[in-house]
Amino acid sequence: FSPEVPVGSRVRYKLFNDSDLPLYYTLINVDPRERLSAFCPVEEVLTPAPEAESTETTTVSATPATIAPGSVIAIPSAELDWAVEAPTGPIETYIVCSTQPLTKTFNTLVSAANSGGQRINPLPEPLPVIEALLTDLSQGDNTDAYTLDVTQWATLNFTYRAVYSYGKTR
């Protein structure tokens, strides 16, 4: 049984890090059309312009998302407008946490994020992102196989059903 969440509602995940190591994470959604979307924690950074100009420029950079030891984070953060979208049907969310930085994953997501937002929806090419994630999680040197040490990473899976609220039209 999956909980029902009305289209337009907001879903927020809270992650707790009770360990003494930082945890690196990413979030991937699968919508009812089986399209993937991903969370990419981009940060806008003001950088000084060359001396000839008097304005600052904004650059977008991404760093692997981290949960510090003993802390709590919310995904998405309160300032993001990240609502459940139509169509109705099952939605799966995978939050992958690792003790190793997910550098290749985030570099791949940054190259896919042309809007500058933290949600890439839909993910234009999901296969390179999944391959980068498996490479980040892999502990082996073999390029033909992934060696996944389950003591170094975990995946949390959340499933809910997007529905229309009573009184709303389709």
Cα–Cα distance, 15 to 54 (Å, whole number): 41
> pTM here?
0.82
pLDDT in tens, 1-17: 789 999 999 999 999 99
Q: What share of the chain is helix, strand, coil (3-state, %, to 5)?
A: 15, 40, 50
pLDDT in tens, 87-141: 999 999 999 999 999 999 999 998 887 655 678 889 999 999 999 999 999 976 6
Our CA angle for 89, 87, 74, nearest 5°, is 75
Nearest to 118 by CA among 78, 85, 90: 78
